[in-house]
Structure 1
Amino acid sequence: MKEEGRSDSLFEDPDFPAEDTSLFCDRSTPVVRLQGSITWLRPQKICLAPTLFPDDINLAHSKQGLLGDCWFLCACSFLLKNKHLLNKVLVPDQPQWGDRRYRGSFKFCFWQHGCWTEVIVDDRLPCINSALCFSRCHSLSAFWVALLEKAYAKLHGSYERLWAGQVSEALVDLTGGLAERCSLRDCGSEVEQRAPQDSGQVRKRWLDLQHLHPVRNQCALSCSTNDSPEGYGTYFYKQVFFFFLFCLFVSHLMTCLTVTGACEPGQYHALTVMEWLDVDRMSGDKVQLLRIRNPWGRCCWGGVWIESGVGWNSVDPSYALELQSRATEGEFWLDEGEFLSQFNDITVGYPITDGGHLRSIYSGALLTHSHQLAGRWTRGHSAGGSRNSSSYGSNPKFWLRVCDKGEVVVSLLQQERRRNSEKFSQRCLQDNKNTKHQHYQAIALHMWKVDKKRFSLSRMLNKPPSASTHCHTYVREAVLHEELEPGHYLMIPSIYQPGLEARFLIRVFSSSPTTVSALKMPATSLPLPTEGEWETSNFQGLWVEGRTAGGSRNFLSHRQNPNFPFTLCDESTVTPEVNVRITLQQNRPDTDLLPIGFHIYKLSEGEPTQTVPKDEEPVASCVPHCYTQDVCLACRLPPGAYTIVPSTYQPDCSASFTLSLACRIHRKVVKSQERLGRTIQEISHISLMQS
């Protein structure tokens, strides 16, 4: 890989170098054909007077190059319409070329899983024949798009990882807001009812275009065609790519870096809705017109509203000329009927005010209240699967309290699974048609309205949810929108298949006051052997305020807690297996639980059995303290004297509890020829029937 125009005084990013490692990840896309042909140049080596933005804002829009990242470029167009959002992504007042402070680096920020992440890159950009080979601005001297694309590629690990994606994901990464991908085709209520509630298929919410009227001039809008059989238009982009290469190597005119052949929407491709107007016809009625921008930088439509189309004959000539003049390079007009017939899906980004509040795309109402909580599905603990699974109740749970009736939007955002480049490359070569769900699990979110004081999880799960995302889908973010009455709601996020692990973020936006909190999960128990004989003892105890409610080890009063001594005999040394299991259960309703836990201390010879050892570290603990009915610990302890000290987390919390201690017993096997007689069998049978 060659690099030209290097200056030792300028920053060179060691984490995203000007090498093949920054270009390729799995070499499964046509980008790999560029290997050996790319040089890395700084903007001052590409043009005479580089700048971030041109004077004419129309020339600042992006133009797609040899990378299949139209989804990302559509989101970039939204930033140009909202300066307060652009300033969050591209930190303002950075030194540029010609500035004495310029050091060859630029700083960008992307929203990632709940917070803004800073990404710094140098300004060495991939080129072919001394011109940018990936995305650029319509102005050849403006470089904000190329630099933002490089920073986004660094965030993902390489340029190749930007090949194919969803506009909704890019919008969230660039704004920190919400975006939904909806179908423009009404599937009908009959199909909706037949669809399985917990299927693993992808199903998009249908959206009536008219619902967007209150926010149509404020939200981000992108339209797309159906996915191609190979996924995300791979076949189409391959054909375009080979045409690109032909242009590159036959001609040095870099205007060939965009498609010049004719092609109407037919494979997967994302475009941006720039303007949506109600236009008066001379006949007195109205027609809705939409101005569409194609990231390729050329017009790809031949309907009745093209520059010489017959549609303009129905509009006042002066107004028609004004509207036509708004369509710059790569843009075209079409009416609502054409729009609905040509595009299958629309991605809608929620409007974001200067103050950072989201506005509902369904009603236009301000969602002035917001919360977010992180969580994870863990195998063997909280990865319970879908409602088809008996372990569904073990999934993470969250309380949502709605104070007043209002509009609530809840999103479940899962963290992307990063691909292992080598393994993924091999898998792609074997089956290049099965890569659609490599990054994400099939997720869903269900919500039940409950009386928190009389809450029973098992009874609740037998009832239909009050609201849900209906089915598990392979998306990064599932969004639930509802008008909710005041009260408490239990939210349960899930992955379709039990045992699959992932991290996630719950976000709640509402027009009325709300609170969100996690429902504490019980401590994870170790697996216990089923064979062998156990001797179990049960003890009743009390935590009494001012006397025996000493709290956790964080407090000096910890030694005041009740303690329960026990002894393990020498015979327990014959096995390395678990020989003790302890369960602590608090006797309180589910709606008023205390955080509980316990410690096990070793007692020295001659030490009083009713005293907690001073300054002694426990030999085993069941912590952290959990808001749950019972906690359990299984462990192996050597012979000796011990005491168990159960506690609440805070001191002076009164409650009663039950402590169960099970010790493993090892008995010698005695060989015997005795057989059970008929009388014993009859007695056993009678006892069984009576019980």
Structure 2
Amino acid sequence: METIKNLQFEDPDFPATNTSLFSSYSTPIAKFSEKITWLRPQEISKSAKLFPDKVQDGQIKQGLLGDCWFLCACEALQKNRLLLEKVIPPGQDLWMQSGCLKCRFWKFGQWVEVIIDNRLPCIGRRLWLSSCRSEEVFWLPLLEKAYAKFHGCYEKLWAGQVAEALVDVTGGLVDRWTLKNYRKNNEKNNHVSFSEKSTFELMKDLIDKSFISCSVHGSTKGSNEHAEFHAFIVVDMKNISGLKDDVVSLLRIRNLWDRRCWNGSWQEGGDGWNKIDVAVAAQLQSLAEEGEFWVEEQEFLNEFDEVTVGYPINPEGYLLSLLTGKSLCHTLQISGGWVKGQSAGGCRNNSSFCSNPKFWLRILDPGEIVITILQKKYDSGNKNGKTLRTRDTPIHCLDNKRFITDVLQQNCYHAIGLHVWKVDKKRFNLQKTVAKPPTIATECHMYDREAKLHCDLAPGYYLVIPSTFMKDEDGEFLLRAFSTSKISLSAVKASHPLAKFGENAEGEWEIIHFTDSWMEGKSAGGSRNFPTYSTNPHLSFSVFSSTGTGNVRITLCQEYFDGQFLPIGFHVYQVHNTNNINQVSCQLKEPVVNCVPHRYTQEVTQLCSLTEGNYVIIPSTYLPDSEAQFTVTVEIKIDRKPFRCQENLGRIINEVSYISVMQR
């Protein structure tokens, strides 16, 4: 940042020009492009301040930009001071004098700092986009500007998901619950299904602990045309005694346009208020501030399409389970990627599924765990003349709003899924494992940024495989795990590319890694010329089916130490008694594979043909008591049979992601 005395900061990377406002001039705000001026807070208000003295003064008002999805997520910062200070770090008292503000957003596993100047787009001398209820308070429009810079420009904030923005400002987890299934059941049975009733009860438990948003994706009886594809904030929930000795469950909902847009039975003067005492009704209506309205439980389930709930965060910064309230205090994350032709195997319908990235998850104690796979957006441009598929959007948007096309091109995701198997790591066989039903898995592959599993798992080792629905789709992802008990998470290491094996590289290969060492007086027995040979490490593996010539590749690699290599080699023996492999007197047998003579090199490799059975590898140095660490990689060609499964792809509109926008 360049500082000049008596001059305020002007951000060269996000200038006060139309380049910071528009990417393609394809949204309705483009018609204002000639009317925009850029003003600093002190030019807009004589008593400008960053944060309000009263909570009500800082409440969120949506402007002309269709970013209700982001502004709803900002409400979570209003409820949690620790989160607010993480996104807008304290100690910026000179923000107005310097003309500079630092904000932070969570991106792919880490917090990213975004620095902006405090010039804001206005029409006349008033803020054009979002604002706080008091025009003296500027935390929200400045944060909106930082988020616009984070995405590239303001126009790219038109339409999006509350869930994504909520993760960006908290770094946490989000659940999305659809209410569509309830309406289908209600049309037939006129009663609330167990799952939806549970959802509503969960909301009651979480209203004081967490952020809750609800969305309308299409026209309903309660909403007018201005509330379609719009996101709201659930402010409060109450159970009220009705006049007929029944209990009326009510939700207070806030519309960020700061005006009431609901035409349901509990609108002001609606029939719903006749169900409760007049005095109670008057009190409840007085609680509803500008832009807020009440909805009854049944009406809510009928007329809203989706609920978004953020996992609560305790004062220590740990996420709390939505289901039990327990602290998910053990957290791990690891990045990975799908690479076309190598590790982009697609879903389980594809024979290449095993080539997907694989991870070991170890659960040390019984506990509750959340496992998520979060993907990066991929290039939305056309490749090879083909139009890439984007995140699914309600068909109403696509038919009626041409400007949504540009939004879609900014938000391209693969359909992703997550499968987890409990395994016996000592007897692990990849082919047999993935052929069985997983211990837990996503119901189908979804065009979401993040897919999530929430479950209880017993102690042990688990194989975790994230995948795209289609094979050969390049992409990067972040695997995250949050648990109430101790866990470990690591990648299943891949060996050197199979491509260098020539013709033997074709097909699928199971890869097994061993790490061990030769230690003087213990496990450094030397070659077969010495009586101590049997003290060398014994590494066992199995071949479950004969797959022809060149079906096993074994590589011994020693650690490079002080520029010196020991002469190394190995032998492979077939073992019929697997109970006492380490006690086998290999000197009395002839090996089935000889990797000799011992060579002064870092790595020795042998391609061999082995029949079905159990085997042991004995790596050795030429002389006894020669110490070194080493790894052995065993690659076994797989004769894989087709899986008896049918992976599902989430359907457009009904099962996938929705975009919340504003229609005015």
CA distance in 2, matches of 1:457, 1:555: 34
Aligned to 2:30: 32
CA contact (8 A) 1:282 1:316 kept: yes
- How many residues are aligned here? 530
Aligned to 1:156: 151
CA distance in 1, matches of 2:252, 2:559: 66
Q: 1:563 to 1:489 in 2, by over 3 A?
A: closer
What is the aligned counterpart of 2:284 among 310, 318, 323?
A: 323
CA contact (8 A) 1:522 1:630 kept: no
What is the aligned counterpart of 2:166 among 166, 171, 179?
A: 171
CA contact (8 A) 1:181 1:205 kept: no
Q: 1:316 to 1:558 in 2, by over 3 A?
A: farther
Unaligned runs of 5+ in 1: 1-5, 191-203, 234-261, 532-541, 565-583, 589-608, 623-628, 633-644, 661-691
Q: What is the identity, as a one-letter code, of the residue corresponding to 2:86? A: K
Aligned to 2:393: none
1:109 aligns with 2:104: yes
Aligned to 2:435: 462
Q: What is the identity, as a one-letter code, of the residue corresponding to 2:114? A: V
**1:671-682 correspondence runs (5 A):** none
1:560 aligns with 2:582: no
CA offsets per residue over residues 111-138 of structure 1, 9 Å max, x none?
1111111111000011112221111111
1:151 shift after superposition: 0.3
CA distance in 1, matches of 2:574, 2:122: 70
1:90 shift after superposition: 1.1
Aligned to 1:640: none
Q: 1:323 to 1:132 in 2, by over 3 A?
A: same
Aligned to 1:78: 76
1:454 shift after superposition: 1.3
CA RMSD of aligned residues (A): 4.0
CA distance in 2, matches of 1:44, 1:7: 19
CA distance in 1, matches of 2:84, 2:240: 30
1:306 shift after superposition: 2.7
Q: 1:308 to 1:430 in 2, by over 3 A?
A: closer
CA distance in 2, matches of 1:117, 1:585: 52
Unaligned runs of 5+ in 2: 186-194, 389-397, 505-515, 527-535, 537-555, 576-596, 609-620, 637-664
1:32 shift after superposition: 2.5
1:556 shift after superposition: 2.5
CA contact (8 A) 1:366 1:511 kept: yes
CA offsets per residue over residues 298-350 of structure 1, 9 Å max, x none?
10113333333343344444443333222111111111111111101111111
Q: 1:55 to 1:408 in 2, by over 3 A?
A: same
Aligned to 1:281: 242
What is the aligned counterpart of 1:214 among 198, 201, 205?
A: 205
TM (norm. structure 1) is 0.69
Q: 1:630 to 1:69 in 2, by over 3 A?
A: farther
Q: 1:263 to 1:167 in 2, by over 3 A?
A: same
What is the aligned counterpart of 1:138 among 133, 138, 141?
A: 133
Q: 1:367 to 1:377 in 2, by over 3 A?
A: same
Aligned to 2:372: 411
Q: 1:412 to 1:654 in 2, by over 3 A?
A: closer
Aligned to 1:237: none
Q: 1:585 to 1:269 in 2, by over 3 A?
A: farther
**1:292-311 correspondence runs (5 A):** 292-311=253-272
Q: What is the identity, as a one-letter code, of the residue corresponding to 2:255? A: N
CA distance in 1, matches of 2:633, 2:467: 32
Q: 1:522 to 1:36 in 2, by over 3 A?
A: same
Q: What is the identity, as a one-letter code, of the residue corresponding to 1:497? A: M
CA offsets per residue over residues 522-578 of structure 1, 9 Å max, x none?
2213366669xxxxxxxxxx98544569974541374114279xxxxxxxxxxxxxx
TM (norm. structure 2) is 0.71
Q: What is the identity, as a one-letter code, of the residue corresponding to 1:173? A: D
CA contact (8 A) 1:187 1:206 kept: no
CA distance in 2, matches of 1:451, 1:341: 47
CA distance in 2, matches of 1:659, 1:114: 33
CA distance in 2, matches of 1:108, 1:433: 29
1:275 shift after superposition: 1.1
User: Which stretch of structure 1 is more off in the superposition, 348-357 or 306-315?
Assistant: 306-315
CA contact (8 A) 1:446 1:493 kept: yes
1:186 shift after superposition: 2.4
Name the structure, 1 or 2, with higher relative contact order (CA <8 Å, separation 6+). Answer: 2
Which SS does the other structure have where 2:180 is aligned?
coil
Aligned to 1:473: 446
Which SS does the other structure have where 1:94 is aligned?
coil
CA contact (8 A) 1:445 1:492 kept: yes
- The structure with the larger Rg is 1
1:286 shift after superposition: 2.0
CA contact (8 A) 1:407 1:481 kept: yes
CA contact (8 A) 2:495 2:633 kept: no
Q: 1:371 to 1:422 in 2, by over 3 A?
A: closer
1:510 shift after superposition: 1.7
Aligned to 1:347: 308
CA offsets per residue over residues 46-68 of structure 1, 9 Å max, x none?
12111122333123121111211
CA distance in 1, matches of 2:264, 2:207: 23
Q: 1:470 to 1:106 in 2, by over 3 A?
A: same
Which SS does the other structure have where 1:362 is aligned?
coil
Q: What is the identity, as a one-letter code, of the residue corresponding to 2:116? A: V
Q: 1:25 to 1:552 in 2, by over 3 A?
A: farther
CA contact (8 A) 2:319 2:329 kept: yes
CA offsets per residue over residues 451-488 of structure 1, 9 Å max, x none?
11211100011111111112111110111111222222
CA contact (8 A) 1:299 1:330 kept: yes
CA distance in 2, matches of 1:41, 1:557: 64
1:174 shift after superposition: 0.6
CA distance in 2, matches of 1:213, 1:630: 64
1:515 aligns with 2:488: yes
1:392 aligns with 2:353: yes
CA distance in 2, matches of 1:657, 1:12: 56
Aligned to 1:365: 326
